[in-house]
Copies of this chain bind each other. A is one copy, B any other.
């Protein structure tokens, strides 16, 4: 077992790939005060990265995220060994191509010091399938899946593969948390992780609706932006339905509206609403809301929606997107 650096001692991070995701990570690490070494074989990688950092910096300043940051503390390398030399963590954001990732991971393993954890931004592959050719230290390869843009969206989904050590997954979760990310530490590999599975289910239903002439692209987007999308930044889909149950919360919702799960409301069939599933969902809602009563949650929801509507009205006035 190789020692990982103490989280406090991390000074330098390598970003493998400087596209939209890798470059976004580089900007974020810089903002959080780290030195960033970027590996990217493209001739214009440095120019593109400078543009991306310039674009991200004002947003990060507005979020008070630039304490101790040096905007110039980055370098671009075309040699992989040089890029990872002396770094304390590696974030890989190469193109989504399984063969490419497999070769790259074997190469990374050969050049990175053994205790260095390597996080992958993959949005679709499991670490088990990506790390098959890693000969030396497969135990330090972890998925750390961000959302676009990585410098603004807090979510990072963290999960290991079948040869990843639990300590490396825990280290990555701690590191991402330390730098201000909202970490979901998954205990098993699930295709699409969590958020992508959920948004992809919605997206697939939307594509079916376009395919069948049931809704236009504009109607689909507006049905979310002017509907449930106004609740979800504050209260996720589970809490939303917890409130839909009235004072009885999720328990009442499932007991009374559960039968509607049989309705053909989407092309995805719902699971059987067993007593166990019902109780798990209810318990999860109660745990998530703690001492907040349904009345508290309703007041918080309303305050959130009011603030959000004022915000979106202001933003739309500033940059109008044509409405039909």
Instruction: Flag whether A41 is at the interface (Cβ < 8 A).
Output: no
Pick the contact of A226: B148, B182, B243 (CB < 8 A). B182
A268-279 CB mask vs B (1 if < 8 Å, else 0) is 111101100100
B205 pairs with A152, CB closer than 8 A:
no
Taking CB atoms and an 8 Å cut-off, the chain A residues in 199-221 that contact chain B are 199-211, 213-221
Q: Which residue of B lies closest to A56 (CB)?
A: B302
Instruction: Flag whether A315 is at the interface (Cβ < 8 A).
Output: yes
Pick the contact of A153: B230, B244, B267 (CB < 8 A). B230
Closest CB-CB distance, A177 to chain B, in whole Å? 11
Instruction: Flag whether A260 is at the interface (Cβ < 8 A).
Output: yes
Instruction: Flag whether A292 is at the interface (Cβ < 8 A).
Output: yes
B217 pairs with A194, CB closer than 8 A:
no
Taking CB atoms and an 8 Å cut-off, the chain A residues in 242-260 that contact chain B are 243-244, 246, 257, 260
A266 pairs with B63, CB closer than 8 A:
no
A236 pairs with B260, CB closer than 8 A:
no
A268 pairs with B201, CB closer than 8 A:
yes
Query: What copy number does this chain have within its complex?
Result: 2
Taking CB atoms and an 8 Å cut-off, the chain A residues in 274-304 that contact chain B are 274, 277, 280-281, 283-285, 287-292, 296, 298-304
Closest CB-CB distance, A241 to chain B, in whole Å? 7
Instruction: Flag whether A99 is at the interface (Cβ < 8 A).
Output: no
What is the total number of residues of chain A having a CB less than 8 Å from a CB of chain B? 120
Bound form: Cα–Cα A123–B288 in Å: 27
Pick the contact of A296: B96, B233, B319 (CB < 8 A). B319
Give the chain B neighbours of A218 by CB distance below 8 A. Answer: 284, 287-288
Bound form: Cα–Cα A290–B319 in Å: 12
B217 pairs with A155, CB closer than 8 A:
no
Q: Which DSSP category, helix, strand, loop or mixed, fits chain A's interface? A: helix
Closest CB-CB distance, A305 to chain B, in whole Å? 5
A266 pairs with B192, CB closer than 8 A:
yes
A232 pairs with B232, CB closer than 8 A:
yes
Q: Which residue of B lies closest to A154 (CB)?
A: B226
Instruction: Flag whether A308 is at the interface (Cβ < 8 A).
Output: yes
A153 pairs with B226, CB closer than 8 A:
yes
B217 pairs with A284, CB closer than 8 A:
yes
A302-313 CB mask vs B (1 if < 8 Å, else 0) is 111111111110
Please list the 10 inter-chain residue pairs (A to B) with the smallest Cβ-Cβ separation, ordered nearest first.
Answer: A217-B284, A221-B236, A192-B265, A229-B232, A155-B227, A195-B223, A268-B268, A201-B205, A182-B226, A290-B322
* New A-B contacts (13) at CB < 8 Å, excluding given A153-B305, A201-B201, A308-B311: A149-B301, A152-B230, A153-B230, A154-B230, A201-B267, A204-B261, A217-B238, A217-B284, A221-B235, A234-B312, A292-B321, A307-B311, A311-B311
Interface residues of chain A, those whose CB is within 8 Å of chain B, are 20, 55-56, 59, 62-63, 96, 124, 147-149, 152-155, 157, 182, 184, 186, 188, 190-192, 194-211, 213-241, 243-244, 246, 257, 260-261, 263-271, 273-274, 277, 280-281, 283-285, 287-292, 296, 298-312, 315, 318-319, 321-322
